[in-house]
């Protein structure tokens, strides 16, 4: 029995030594220590050993088991370590490989133009305000000298929510709100979305405008033109040319439409400017004294000018965008080209 145990120990340690992978090592463990293992069977057979030998054989069997267990766990740790090193070798990270690059976001072209225009206005002393996109019929029309049933309402196809509430058709209600918010003299500019029931390749039911309003003593058309010229130069460069056409708005008198050098062709003439070399810059004029009076401002003391450029057209021209809808679809394929 003693001899048998010593043999088991020798063979066991030897087999463990020879093994070179975790799976075979586990098989060796089962052969010796498993339920039907060699050593297990011996320990189970202890009751057949004569009583006087039982103690000695028992402790020898236990020691054999312990030695085999110890050897097994040492070998297990070694093999695991080797496997880890081998895996690390296989999965080496190549730190010289060029990176895939970080994708950077960018501002929407409308936002970029908006920011540029706002910065310019702030530099020129304007206060930037924002007023609601859902307006009263009074602020959108009546306070701007467009009473109910006035034919000028036909100029703007309105989207009504109730009889007296609508989506603002222009940013001009900001004029009305500003006249109630500030005491003259003041200069405000209000950027924002406006809504009209209009839909083709150059018109969208949603588009963007600015409203600029300057109220002070002795403001004249000449002051207006000087400021407009300054803005055109800052936006389009000092070679920009301008021309003025008479226009009609119920809230300005006189009203003018100002064109500036076409930014698509640089003034040479193209399909966009229909060969004229000019494209529409914006409409505006001297604030109709009736508007001031309706807002409680003394029109004998104060006068002013207002103008409201649409910005979508300018963004389309400067970025060569053929259809206004691209500005609102949020299609990444389009936006990525606009960076």
Which residues of this chain interact with ligand PHE, rule CB under 6 A? 170, 172, 249, 252, 283-285, 306-308
Indicate the pairing of strand 159-160 with strand 127-128: unpaired
Q: Closest distance between ligand PHE and the C-beta of residue 334, in Å?
A: 26
Rounded least distance, CB 253 to ligand PHE, Å:
10
Min dist CB 276 to ligand PHE, Å, is 20
Closest approach of ligand PHE to the CB of residue 96, in Å: 59
> What are the DSSP calls for 252-317, one per residue?
EEEEEEEEEE-TTTTTS--TTTTTSSEEEEEEEEEEPHHHHHHTT--TTTEEEEEEE-BSHHHHHH
CB of 123 to ligand PHE, least distance (A): 21
Complex with ligand PHE: residue 34 or 203, whichever CB lies closer: 203
Distance (Å, whole) CA 329 – CA 186: 37
Contact 251, 144 (CB under 8 A): yes
Give whichever of 262 and 286 is closer to ligand PHE, judged by the CB atom. Answer: 286
Task: Please say which residue, 65 or 156, places its beta carbon nearer to ligand PHE.
Answer: 156
Which residue is nearest to ligand PHE, using beta carbons? 308
Residue 28 or 255 having the CB closest to ligand PHE: 255
- Which residues neighbour 94 within 8 Å (Cβ) at sequence distance 6 or greater? none
Contact 300, 184 (CB under 8 A): no
Pairing of the two strands 186-195 and 127-128: parallel
Report, in Å, the least distance between residue 145 CB and ligand PHE. 11
Identify which of residues 208 and 261 has a Cβ nearer to ligand PHE in the complex: 208
Other beta carbons less than 10 A from residue 278's beta carbon: 19
CA end-to-end span of the chain, whole Å? 87
Smallest distance from ligand PHE to CB 215, Å: 13
Nearer to ligand PHE, 110 or 256 (CB): 256
**Contact (Cβ atoms closer than 8 angstroms) between residue 285 and residue 256:** yes
Residue 135 sits at φ, ψ, to 5 deg, of -120, 165
Q: Which is nearer to ligand PHE, 140 or 261 (CB)?
A: 140
Which of these, 164, 176, 184, 185, lies nearest to 129 by C-alpha position? 176
């Amino acid at each position: 029995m003693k001899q048998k145990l010593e043999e088991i120990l020798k063979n066991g340690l030897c087999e463990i030594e020879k093994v070179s992978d975790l799976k075979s090592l586990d098989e060796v463990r089962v052969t010796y220590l498993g339920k039907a293992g060699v050593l297990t069977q011996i320990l189970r057979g202890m009751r057949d050993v004569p009583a006087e030998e039982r103690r000695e054989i028992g402790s020898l069997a236990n020691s054999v088991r312990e030695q085999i267990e110890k050897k097994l766990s040492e070998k297990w740790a070694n093999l695991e370590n080797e496997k880890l090193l081998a895996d690390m070798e296989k999965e080496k990270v190549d730190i010289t490989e060029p990176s895939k690059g970080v994708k950077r976001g960018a501002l929407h072209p409308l936002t970029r133009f908006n920011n540029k225009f706002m910065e310019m206005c702030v530099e020129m002393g304007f206060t930037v305000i924002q007023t609601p996109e859902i307006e009263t019929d009074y602020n959108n029309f009546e306070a701007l000298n467009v009473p109910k049933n006035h034919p000028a309402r036909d100029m703007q196809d309105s989207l009504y929510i109730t009889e007296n509430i609508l989506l603002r058709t222009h940013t001009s209600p900001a004029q009305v709100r500003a006249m109630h918010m500030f005491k003259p003299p003041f200069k405000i500019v209000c950027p924002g979305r406006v809504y009209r029931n209009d839909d083709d390749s150059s018109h969208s039911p949603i588009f963007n405008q600015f409203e600029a309003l300057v109220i002070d003593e002795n403001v004249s058309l000449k002051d207006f033109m000087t400021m407009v010229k300054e803005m055109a130069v800052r936006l389009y460069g000092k070679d920009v040319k301008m021309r003025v056409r008479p226009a009609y708005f119920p809230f300005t008198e006189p009203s003018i439409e100002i064109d500036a050098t076409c930014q698509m062709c640089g003034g040479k003439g193209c399909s966009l400017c229909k060969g004229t070399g000019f494209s529409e810059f914006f409409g505006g004029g001297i604030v109709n004294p009736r508007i001031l009076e309706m807002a409680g401002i003394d029109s004998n003391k104060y006068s002013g000018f207002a103008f409201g450029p649409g910005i979508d057209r300018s963004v389309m021209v400067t970025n060569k965008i053929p259809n206004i809808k691209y500005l609102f679809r949020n299609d990444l394929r389009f936006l990525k080209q606009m960076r």
